[in-house]
Amino acid sequence: MPTVIAAQLRTPGGKNVNRRLRLAGKIPAVIYGPGKQPIVVSVDPHDVSAILHSETGRNTIFAISVDGVEQSNAMVKDYQRDPVQGKMLHTDFLEIAMDRLLELTVNVEIVGEAEGVKLDGGIMDIVTRSIEVECLPSDIPESIKVDVSHLKINDYIRVKNIQTDAKVKILSDPEIVVVTIVPPIKEELPVETAAETAEPEVLKKGKTTEEGAEEESKSKAPKAEAKQ
């Protein structure tokens, strides 16, 4: 039996109205449906958070009732959180029909340990973490599984290489890279620069010049005394 979210009809208002609503433990929400006018309601933010933190997240199908009378299947279309406190501020629901195809985003799940990582010390780079799919609501997968166990260094998997259930159609660009195995990073030993190697030589030359000047002054001193 699907989860049921209880919603209450509300009168649209500005920031002050919504602030009072949140102080009362509710948040503003809107229910959208194909061929229907949006319904403005209020809901308990904890119910929405519980759905978003479930295994299926935003792709969870649940029932929504308005003032305890009307029930329909729905999904979370969008939501807004406070950027500082993280509290739920607003949410939009999308009413769905179980016999109509949906376009939605599904997370990629990496399966297995890549040969290039296990044997050659490579690094797995997950380039794309979610892809767009189309399917009936009852066929929504929890994730799109991608097996990487056969990948070696510099191997990769594109969207077109992913195999899914026949009931799930992938809409993302087939050429998009999902995951690749890059070579390990090699630590380079510090190389002595030309300036560092030249510095001792410069110092040595400077010292020789100073010594030469000192010897020259000494050699001139006795001649000056002899002239006197």
The domain at 102-182 falls in which architecture? Beta Complex (2.170)
The token duo for 176 is 């998009």
Mean pLDDT of 154-167: 94
Encoded amino acid at 5, one letter: I
- Looking at residue 159, its pLDDT comes to 97
Q: How far is CA 222 from CA 151, 225, 228, in A?
A: 86, 5, 10
What kind of architecture, by CATH, is found in domain 4-95?
Answer: Beta Barrel (2.40)
Contact between 50 and 69 (Cβ < 8 Å)? no
- Tell me whether residue 220 is exposed, middle or buried, using C-beta atoms within 10 angstroms of its C-beta: 0 to 12, 13 to 18, 19 or more: exposed
pLDDT at 19: 85
| Predicted local confidence at residue 224, as pLDDT | 43
N-to-C CA span, the chain: 122
In sequence order, the 6+-apart residues with CB closer than 8 A to the CB of 160 are 174, 175
State pLDDT tens for residues 88-111: 999 999 999 999 999 999 999 999
pTM of the predicted model, to two decimals? Answer: 0.69
* pLDDT for 30: 95
The pLDDT of residue 214 is above 90 = no
Q: Is residue 61 over pLDDT 50?
A: yes
What's the rounded mean pLDDT across residues 194-210? 50
Query: What ranges do the domains of the chain cover?
Result: 4-95, 102-182
- The per-residue pLDDT for 176 is 97
Residue bearing the bigger pLDDT, 108 or 20: 108
Residue 75 clears pLDDT 50, i.e. is over it: yes
Report the pLDDT value the prediction gives residue 147, as an integer from 0 to 100: 96
Angle, CA 119 vertex, CA 128 and CA 186 arms, to 5° = 75
* pLDDT tier at 133, thresholds 50, 70, 90: very high
> Amino acid identity, residue 25?
G
Q: Does pLDDT of 227 surpass 50?
A: no
The one-character DSSP state at 46 is H
145 Cβ neighbours under 8 A, 6+ residues apart: 109, 111
Question: Is the CB of residue 179 less than 8 Å from the CB of residue 126?
Answer: yes
